[in-house]
Structure 1
Amino acid sequence: MAKIVPFKAVRPTRDKVCLVTCRSYEEYVNAELAAQLDFNPLSFLHILKPAYTNQETVSFEKRYRQVHQKYEDFKNEIILVKDKKPAIYIHKIVTKTQSFTGIIVGTSVADYCNNIIKKHEDIIAFRVRLLKDYMKYSEFNTEPVLMTYPDNKTIENWIFNCIQKLADFEFSTTKKEIHYLWKIEDALEINWLQNIFEKTQSLYIADGHHRTEALKLLSEENDNPQNTAKNHILSYLISENNIKIYEFNRLVKDLNGFTKEAFLQELQKEFIIEDKLQQAFQPSRKHEFGMYLDHSFYSLNLRNENEIFETSLDRLDTQILYKKVLLPILAIEDLRDDERIEYLSGKQSILELQNKIDQEEFEIGFILFPSNIEEIKALADADLIMPPKSTYIEPKFRSGLVVYEL
């Protein structure tokens, strides 16, 4: 039931690809961003931030039109070139510890509206409108929505055979990742893959909920029936067993007026607490939590191990921590906007969490066990929403590698 389509991608030329592609704009600290913009004239960051050399304050619309103009400049200078035939693309990322391989295609906005493409995260309306306007005026999208499909041996074997051929692109990044891209433009092969996905009941958004919703709005505003590009979502489809899900750990600035002793007494009503002293502790299973407070690590285990959870949301560790600790004891109601709480991805060492607390930026930290794909699917199937900052999911796609024109 899931529909996929090929498209004519705009891509860097082979000799320039390692200089053009970049990480997502938000991932750069200011000094690194400035260095890229100052010393690499081919970086896609010049498209994403075209006013860098002219730091005037402009409206969103004017800035987005500048993005489009800079994008056109890159095409005119033959830095970016549009493929002549519609194609699908296989992309492989090899890091120091693992590799990811997926398929870049267009998926259907209608499938998203009809819940064939399923979501598990909440969205912020203002951010969605900004993204919609950005894509409307820039007229392109270069950040695919990461979606998972059920493990499929037929697709796995097909990908394996495809990637035995010489890649169209092969390049390394400063993060010591190796990227490969293969273009598949044979019509019979594409049709065969489309038929495979038509038998797939659902696709699940892993990362890119705001972008998907923005593309839905853009499609609804489309008054040109000839422009079918706006009816599709640039997507990176990856097998469920090939994504990596990290937790987001929680840092809180105070104990809501409790002393350490009184706080621990409150915790003991719901958790069995074990003081690990200076031994860094990381949970090894669901419903087990780590905590760092006053130079000591603690393990927290639910006191009622046989507690009955009514929904898949209630069983989530992030929801358990919210319902039993953050809300009733620490009075943190809004996980997204409360200034007393911040988040640290599980990709970062818990020693960084320890360091932030020891330096008195925060008073307490909570360490979680990561969610899994089955929990994400259960939530999506039940039309439930994860708490904010529940998962950090890889792979992450590089901007400028594949551009989808709208």
Structure 2
Amino acid sequence: MAVLKPFKAWHPTPKNVEQIACVPYDVVSVEEARTLAAGNPESFLHVVRPEIDLPEGTDPHDDEVYHKGAENLHAFLENGTLQQENKPQIYVYQLIRNGRPQTGIFACVSVEDYDDEVILKHELTRPAKEDDRTRHILTQQAHAEPVMLTYKDDPTAENLIKETVEEEPLFEFEASDGVIHKLWRAKETKAFAKAFKSISHLYIADGHHRCKSASRAAEQKRKNNPGHTGNEEYNFFPAVIFPMSNMNILPYNRVVHSIPDNFLDTLQDKFTLTVGADPSPSKKGEISIYLDGNWYGMELPLDNNPNSVQKLDVHRLQEFVLSPLLDIDDPRRNENISFVGGIRGTKELEKNVNSGKAELAISMYATSIEELIKVSDEGRLMPPKSTWFEPKLRSGLLVHTF
């Protein structure tokens, strides 16, 4: 069963929520974050991207960065920018993008559930990124941003969500990207927690490093606490949990910066290419390739008797194109490949190639939520950058301190 725990969140007021709410730390560069927060001292980017308040060129892993993030957060807590609830709460959080609502439960989940694989992952994490987020958590004594989880649809939880959204929201605002954000306090806190006792697994959608870092931070706190009971707040971390039918996954596209001479001839020798293809593939198993100013359609080969991972388009691309033809064996570390979220569209792929930044662009068909669940249930791992979830959660709406 999954643990769902209410918490005494720190949150903005309806008056300053638009100034505080920001994009997650990992979807913008330092330069983009600096631009977004310019002239806005209340932007939560000062907490999750504190290097923007230090001289340009500051190493993002410098001790000063972590101390600055803690200083900025504690200032928000002390000066009233964020206000704390009087008692633990569970919330319902809704995002509306292009008229499509996505509604989930905002609460704390258990580090123990993550460690015991009640919360299932589908990607590997990188130690350096774990180290960074763990330091932020421990220095701030807070989980500043939630992770995004999903679960197999449950009628009891769905009814509780529907009842909650009929009430007046705590706040509602439209972000600069046009996404509308709404947040409600749930009246039936115990009912939500009880509903999740019958849900066997939660699945990480977005936030693998934050989950692992919450686990590592809790482990360190536990070692330093002789009176550890398991009920301390550091044993829990915030998450927004959506039913899988609500999830929206966009493609995660690729660009290759340098390709061998006559690479188009190589592709045509090995595969059947369609000239003038649609930049966006129309079905699973197809990719579109942008090369020398033209789009080419191509069907990806498939292993015999493939397992759930081998069926993924991102795996098939890796196995039959990237590794054998471009020597990109480890896309996590190979500098010849970069990844472009589907929200940026295929024009961004063309721009990369036309500008000379890359020589080849690959437009993917989106991985499905059913594929993610199946891989997770089987205990397998997806290749890196398999999914791009949209819309993104906003940071700074609810902060969990310990």
TM-score, normalised with respect to structure 1: 0.91
Task: State the partner residue of 1:41.
Answer: 41
In the alignment, structure 2 segments of 5+ residues that lack a partner are none
- Structure 1 position 14 matched with structure 2 position 10: no
Alignment gaps of 5+ in structure 1: none
Residue aligning to 1:338: 334
CA RMSD after TM alignment: 2.2
Alpha-carbon deviation of 1:245?
0.6
Question: Is contact 2:30-2:49 (8 Å) kept?
Answer: no
Q: How far apart, in 2, do the equivalents of 1:42 and 1:281 lie?
A: 40
**Equivalent residue number for residue 118 of structure 2:** 116
Letter in 1 for 2:395: S
Kept after mapping to 2: 8 A contact 1:255/1:263: no
Q: Does 1:363 align with 2:359?
A: yes
Give, in angstroms, the shift of residue 386 of structure 1.
0.9
Q: What is residue 66 of structure 2 aligned with on the other side?
A: 64
SS of 1:298's equivalent in the other structure is: strand
User: Aligned pair in 2 of structure 1 residues 47, 367: CA closer, same or farther (>3 Å)?
Assistant: closer
| Deviations 1:307-332, CA, capped at 9 Å, x for gaps | 52331111111110111111111111
Q: How many angstroms apart in 2 are the aligned matches of 1:111 and 1:177?
A: 31
Where does 1:319-398 land on structure 2 (aligned, <5 Å)? 319-398=315-394
1:90–1:98 CA distance, 2 compared to 1 (3 A)? same
Question: 1:213 — aligned with what?
Answer: 212
| Match in the other structure for 1:248 | 252
Distance in 1, matches of 2:54 and 2:204, equals 37
Query: Does the CA contact (< 8 Å) of 2:179 and 2:391 recur in 1?
Result: no
- AA aligned opposite 2:372: I
Contact 2:157 2:196 in 1 (8 A): no
Q: Distance in 2 between matches of 1:147 and 1:392?
A: 13
- What SS does structure 2 have at the residue aligned with 1:182? strand
The aligned residue for residue 105 of structure 2 is 103
Q: CA deviation at 1:55?
A: 2.5
Report if the CA contact (8 A) 2:9-2:400 is conserved.
yes
**What aligned pairs does 1:172-183 form with structure 2 within 5 A after superposition?**
172-183=174-185
Counting matched residue pairs gives: 395
Divergent runs of 4+, >6 A:
none
Amino acid at match of 1:363: E
Residue 8 of structure 1, CA deviation: 0.2
Q: Which amino acid aligns with 1:13?
A: T
Which structure is larger by alpha-carbon Rg, 1 or 2?
1
- List per-residue Cα deviations over 1:123-180 (Å, max 9, x = no partner): 0011101111110011111211111011122222221111111111112222222211
Do the aligned residues in 1 keep the contact of 2:252 with 2:341 (CA within 8 Å)? Answer: yes
Alignment equivalent of 1:83, drawn from 74, 85, 89: 85
Percent identity, aligned pairs only, is 30
Match of 2:278 among 277, 280, 295: 280
TM-score by length of 2: 0.92
Q: CA 1:368–1:199 in structure 2 vs 1: closer, same or farther (change >3 Å)?
A: same
* Alpha-carbon displacement from aligned partner over 1:164-210 (angstroms, at most 9, x marks no partner): 111111122222222111112x5xx2222212111111110001001
Contact 2:97 2:391 in 1 (8 A): no
Q: 1:367 to 1:50 in 2, by over 3 A?
A: closer
Deviation per residue, 1:346-384 (Å, 9 max, x gap): 222213212322333222222211111111111112221
* 8 Å contact from structure 1 (residues 309, 315) kept in 2: no
Alpha-carbon distance in 2 for matches of 1:330, 1:108: 42
Amino acid at match of 2:238: L
Change (3 A) 1:170 1:331: same
Q: SS state of the match for residue 5, structure 1? A: coil
Task: Give the aligned residue type for 1:283.
Answer: P
Q: Does 1:157 align with 2:171?
A: no
Task: Work out whether residues 147 and 240 of structure 2, in 8 Å CA contact, stay in contact via their aligned partners in 1.
Answer: yes
Q: 1:69 to 1:302 in 2, by over 3 A?
A: closer
Distance between the aligned counterparts of 1:321 and 1:213, measured in 2? Answer: 28
